[in-house]
A and B are shown apart, each in its own frame.
Chain A
Amino acid sequence: KNEVEQSPQNLTAQEGEFITINCSYSVGISALHWLQQHPGGGIVSLFMLSSGKKKHGRLIATINIQEKHSSLHITASHPRDSAVYICAVKSDRGSTLGRLYFGRGTQLTVWP
């Protein structure tokens, strides 16, 4: 069983569409990360959040600690947003304190 589940696994959108990627987790956490991975492999950290909402340009990340759920939204999507988006959570419990658990990623393709 994966501690972090992402949906959808694959997402195709037309340029300009509003996009939502979801992340649910089953462990107690101290923080949640949203990461972006472009073809070629390099991973960039987009957000780190432990409560509420963060916004950076066209990207918005929200988290609901009670429901153990986070969403990443992209407004006015663009082909350059095409990438794999990965959710990761940092455990706050017991023997796994500080460990990171990763979702399997969501492949986003935005067509012009």
Chain B
Amino acid sequence: DVKVTQSSRYLVKRTGEKVFLECVQDMDHENMFWYRQDPGLGLRLIYFSYDVKMKEKGDIPEGYSVSREKKERFSLILESASTNQTSMYLCASSSLTGGPFYNSPLHFGNGTRLTVT
């Protein structure tokens, strides 16, 4: 069974701190995604990656960066955390088997609830 693991369930950081959110998947998936989820807004894509060292901006990349040095790990970085980045962050992965846009199922981590004070 696919497992997507996010390093923290809850995180509290101060404004201006650099924050790292880590995500690891164990199924050799090519695609990895970072979303944030806010009440009334649903899931919004921050960044995604189709391969090691590849990254693409999603819909709301401002204030975030990502790193994918190894296939199984996709990190989300808040360079200088701000209170409007308080949110639930969800990592997901899927397989590229069959082609870049093959309809493979999504696998999500349990989420990290980040509070910036």
Contacts and interface: CB of A to CB of B under 8 A. Distances in A.
Interface of A: 2, 30-31, 33, 35, 40-45, 48, 50, 86, 88, 90, 92, 97-100, 102-105
B103 A35 contact: no
Interface residues on B, range: 20 to 34
B58 to A, nearest CB: 8
Given A86-B43, A102-B42, A102-B43, A43 B108 contact: yes
B116 interface: no
A102 B9 CA distance: 23
Given A30-B103, A41-B113, A43-B90, A104 B42 contact: yes
B109 interface: yes
Interface string B100-117: 110111111111010000
Contacts of B90: 41, 43
A105 B42 contact: yes
Contacts of A31: 103
B112 to A, nearest CB: 8
B111 A42 contact: yes
A98 B100 contact: yes
Which 6 A-B pairs rank lowest in CB-CB distance, beginning with the nearest? A41-B111, A43-B108, A31-B103, A42-B110, A104-B42, A98-B101
Given A41-B90, A43-B108, A30 B42 contact: no
Contacts of B106: 33, 35, 45, 88, 100
A23 to B, nearest CB: 12
Contacts of A42: 108-111
Contact of A97 (B43, B101, B109, B111): B101
B44 to A, nearest CB: 8
A10 B40 CA distance: 12
